[in-house]
């Protein structure tokens, strides 16, 4: 899955022959799952039509401060456009547009949007080779880099003048690859490996019956998807569930029983930076598992149970550098029971759920949690979607690794 998925991208198109490539560029953005709005300089419309880019982006194309053809002369708010974007790309960036960006010469909508933007700005120069090497152009490059803008270098090749050399705008595929690589390198969990458990475990009674619980696995899957989107290498150990991961980079290890989950966690834990135990693991299992289906021969039936291995406690006992997060689902004395679990299992953070809270618990789209760390600092959170709770949990991981 592309890191551009879901990103709001503002594409600025200036007046150079390379503007024809923006049709392919917009198409690639949309294919990657991005949302695109296009701002064109008046001169760029001589090279590619607004209708083409509007059709491909599925959004109106903006070129003037207000639409002259509209009776109400609706204003194209450059501030709103600049604030809307997660990133802005100016491509092609001609010598004229680069000079205006560097000097703040705001005589068209594109420059006004650029000056109003709060997001990262990339620019892909496109001009003839002598223009590309001219001191004034190099000065513009340097000024824009000092502003924090990111240059996508031009490529060498045949130019519109008939000459061959540096100045050709990077091909759309190469621009996409550059953006993806740059964004991925800046993801807050890039280079971190995180082990996550999710779902219930099923403890067999006989070949057709089991002891289980109502966990859907959604909380763990949401954490895994968010962690992967933030750049982490994710290993998801999941009990039986119908859920599928949204990020194809996640390594999914499917298990059924608590013992299988224990084995999988210990296989991967030593090589991880963090572990988040969101699974609802059975505390007990049948001591003996019948090899054949048990017949209903009597009014009463007794199953002797034995404790399963405590996965979280076993990880806490061997952890070294890992940031270990556990979950606690309580129905009474929630805070005190959670604190005891932190001490007993050597946790760095616990995510407390209470079945007393409306909207929390199994098989719900929402969750209401309280964070308690190993210093017993308590942080209650509001009722949120499980996706938002996953973000909150991973922010704790990011904060931990950001500490000096």
Just list the catalytic residues.
Answer: 213
Q: How many Cα atoms sit within 13 Å of 353 on the Cβ side? A: 21
Q: Convert 343-362 into a string of H (helix), E (strand) and C (coil).
A: HHHCCCEEEEEECCCCCCCC
Residues in the chain: 404
DSSP H or E stretch at residue 325? strand 323-330
**169 DSSP assignment:** P
The structure tokens listed for 318 are: 């061997």
DSSP tag of 273 = S
Burial of 143 (0-12, 13-18, 19+ CB in 10 A): middle
Which backbone phi and psi does 52 adopt, to 5 degrees? -60, -50
Q: Which two tokens stand for residue 83?
A: 């604030």
Tokens found for residue 245:
């991961």
C-alpha–C-alpha distance, residues 362 and 239, integer Å: 14
């Amino acid at each position: 899955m592309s890191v551009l998925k879901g990103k709001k991208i503002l594409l600025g198109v200036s007046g150079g022959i390379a503007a024809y490539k923006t049709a392919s560029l917009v198409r690639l953005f949309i294919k990657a799952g991005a949302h695109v709005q296009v701002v064109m300089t008046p001169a760029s419309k001589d090279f590619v039509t607004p209708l083409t880019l509007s059709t491909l982006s599925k959004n109106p194309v903006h070129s003037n401060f207000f639409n002259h053809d509209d009776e109400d002369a609706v204003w194209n708010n450059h501030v709103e456009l600049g604030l809307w974007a997660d990133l802005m790309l100016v491509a092609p960036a001609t010598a004229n547009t680069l000079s205006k960006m560097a000097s703040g010469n705001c005589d068209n909508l594109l420059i006004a949007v650029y000056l109003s933007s709060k997001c990262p700005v990339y620019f892909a120069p496109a001009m003839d080779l002598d223009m590309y090497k001219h001191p004034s152009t190099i000065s513009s490059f340097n000024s824009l880099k000092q502003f924090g803008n990111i240059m996508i270098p031009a490529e060498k090749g045949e130019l519109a003048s008939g000459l061959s050399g540096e100045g050709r705008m990077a091909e759309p595929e190469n621009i996409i690859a550059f953006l993806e690589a740059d964004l991925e390198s800046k993801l807050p969990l890039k280079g971190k490996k995180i082990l996550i458990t999710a779902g219930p475990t099923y403890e067999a009674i006989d070949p057709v019956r089991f002891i289980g619980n109502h966990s859907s696995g959604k909380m763990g899957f949401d954490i895994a998807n968010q962690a992967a989107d933030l750049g982490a290498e994710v290993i998801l150990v999941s009990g039986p569930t119908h859920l599928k991961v949204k990020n194809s980079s996640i390594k999914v290890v499917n298990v059924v029983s608590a013992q299988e989950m224990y084995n999988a966690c210990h296989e991967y834990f030593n090589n991880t930076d963090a572990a988040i135990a969101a699974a609802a693991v059975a505390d007990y299992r049948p001591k003996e598992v019948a090899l054949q289906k048990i017949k209903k021969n009597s009014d009463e039936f007794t199953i002797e149970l034995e404790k399963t291995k405590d996965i979280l406690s076993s990880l806490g006992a061997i952890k070294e550098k890992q940031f270990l997060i556990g979950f606690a689902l309580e129905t009474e004395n929630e805070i005190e029971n959670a604190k005891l679990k932190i001490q007993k299992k050597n946790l760095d953070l616990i995510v407390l759920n209470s079945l007393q809270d409306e909207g929390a618990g199994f098989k719900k789209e929402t969750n209401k949690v309280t964070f308690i760390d190993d210093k017993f600092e308590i942080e209650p959170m509001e009722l949120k979607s499980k996706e938002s709770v996953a973000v909150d949990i991973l922010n704790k991981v990011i904060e931990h690794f950001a500490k000096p």
